[in-house]
A and B are shown apart, each in its own frame.
Chain A
Amino acid sequence: MNNIISKNGLILAGFALVVSAIVALTHQGTKEQIARQETKQLLKILDQVIVKGSYDNELYKHCVTTNSLQFLGSKKNQRAFVALKGNDPVAIAIETIAPNGYNGNINLIVGINAQGIVTGVRTLAHQETPGLGDKIEIVKSDWITSFNNQAVDGHKDVRWQVKKDGGQFDQFTGATITPRAVVQAVKNSVIYFKRNQQRLFSETARCGDQS
């Protein structure tokens, strides 16, 4: 009896070893390609929120960490990418979260230039209702471009609301909560940027080698 158990145990261990080895090999073989894909993806998104050509550094390598539950919607560290022209910072792309979407967090990236004007916003991830709330994706609707060239005039800026609440941004038919959350998150990230502009622009790049 004991004999069978130990024999089976060994066989099981052998299989575990072989399978792990195969997975490890695949991981090793695909690691670089995956990193390349992720960089490519990141670049594609960064290009959409900060106009290409307005900066000349390798944007995706120059990233600083941010952390603000109040303005960026998460206790965790998030990334922000600083665009430089020569040695002067000209714009920043801040990752942020709208914590009050209809169905949980909405991950966004907000491009803001040094004057505090929004250069572009894109949705990175969300679980909003398909067909209603998912119009925040650029592939579904160009609503998200309505943030372009907007400035925020402090906390009480009434324009930064959906039209239903007296602001300037459209809501969607049947979905007000989603655009309301996004508008608020974008506004907050601009305020965050203005308050921390000095630090964000002077900090040395941290996550350069990772991604």
Chain B
Amino acid sequence: MNQYAELTWQGLWKNNPGLVQLLGLCPLLAVTSTLTNALGMSIATIIVMVCSNATVSLIRQWIPKEIRIPIFVMIIAGFVTCVQLLFNAYAYGLYQSLGIFLPLIVTNCIIIGRAEAYASKNSLLPSIYDGFIMGVGFSAVLLLLGAVRELLGQGSLFAGAEILLGDWATSLTIVLVEFDQSFLFIMLPPGAFIALGFILAIKNVLNARVESIIEPPVVVEKPQRARIHKVT
């Protein structure tokens, strides 16, 4: 596998931030009550991850090893603040629907994790790609969880999309089942934990099968044994 294929494989499945590294559970569990919120969080996280990985990779020669962590934290905090300001200015609906979880992206360990584990050791382009694909892997889990919870909780998909994307998005909302009473449990945090647990379980069940397709086991040739003849 070449470098980018390997990164893709790592980010989306093998080392998925949400399912394997289990990083960033706070936003993962908190904002996934609807698909729309999950989408907003995904966009914000991907932007911050790409920017922070790119910056860290660009300046990695000038960062002394001993103080790299505070510098990473500073860079990430700076980007999150900028993203927050920009969202506030140009995507007000998104800003409102994410609320406190937008500034809390700072505390998402995936971002500093990727800065430390990958971007600080690799050149610009692979680092950007790593940030992007890790963000996409995280987003995939967010969106899946959001879809499952919204579907089970309210019987709809993309409810409130117009707040996030503007008025045209009203048509995105799909109501699949009309409940008299929404299934509250699944929309509250405990439901998020349980739904995530099921997703993790399914991932683990599928793991061996998927890995055998993507990563064909390397056939190790058995060394031929020297034949020992019976000495008579």
Contact = CB atoms under 8 A, between A and B. Distances in A.
B103 interface: no
A27 interface: yes
Contacts of B154: 131
B201 interface: no
Contact of B89 (A23, A37, A129, A131): A37
Q: Is the interface of B mostly helix, strand, loop or mixed?
A: helix
Interface of A is mostly: helix
Contacts of B153: 131
Given A26-B81, A37-B89, A15 B184 contact: no
Interface in A194-210: none
Interface string B127-162: 000000000000000000000000001100000100
B82 A26 contact: yes
B187 interface: yes
B61 to A, nearest CB: 12
Interface in B60-87: 62-64, 66-67, 70-71, 74-75, 77-78, 81-82, 85-86
Contact size range, A: 20 to 34
B82 A41 contact: no
Given A8-B66, A19-B74, A139-B160, A33 B89 contact: yes
A40 B77 CA distance: 28
A31 to B, nearest CB: 8
A135 B79 CA distance: 36
Contacts of A8: 64, 66-67
A10 to B, nearest CB: 10
Contacts of A146: none
Contacts of B32: none
B150 to A, nearest CB: 11
B69 to A, nearest CB: 11
A53 interface: no
B181 A37 contact: no
Nearest to A12: B67
A157 B100 CA distance: 39
Nearest to B154: A131
B13 interface: no
Contacts of B62: 11
A129 B183 CA distance: 12
Interface string B173-188: 0000000011110011
A76 B81 CA distance: 28
B86 A26 contact: yes
Contacts of B88: 30, 34, 37
Nearest to B90: A33
Contacts of B101: none
B86 A19 contact: no
Contacts of A37: 88-89, 92
Contacts of A19: 74-75, 77-78
Contacts of A30: 85-86, 88-90
B181 A174 contact: yes
B53 interface: no
A15 B71 contact: yes
Contacts of B70: 12
Contacts of B71: 11-12, 15
A84 B181 CA distance: 44
A30 B86 CA distance: 7
Nearest to B64: A8
27 contacts: A4-B64, A8-B66, A11-B62, A11-B71, A12-B67, A12-B70, A15-B71, A19-B75, A19-B78, A20-B78, A22-B78, A23-B81, A26-B85, A30-B89, A30-B90, A33-B89, A37-B89, A41-B92, A129-B188, A130-B33, A130-B184, A131-B154, A131-B181, A131-B184, A131-B187, A132-B182, A173-B181
Given A30-B85, A30-B86, 10 more contacts: A8-B64, A11-B63, A11-B64, A23-B82, A26-B85, A26-B86, A40-B92, A41-B92, A130-B33, A131-B184
Nearest 10 A/B pairs, CB to CB: A131-B182, A33-B89, A19-B78, A30-B89, A26-B82, A37-B92, A30-B85, A34-B89, A8-B67, A131-B184
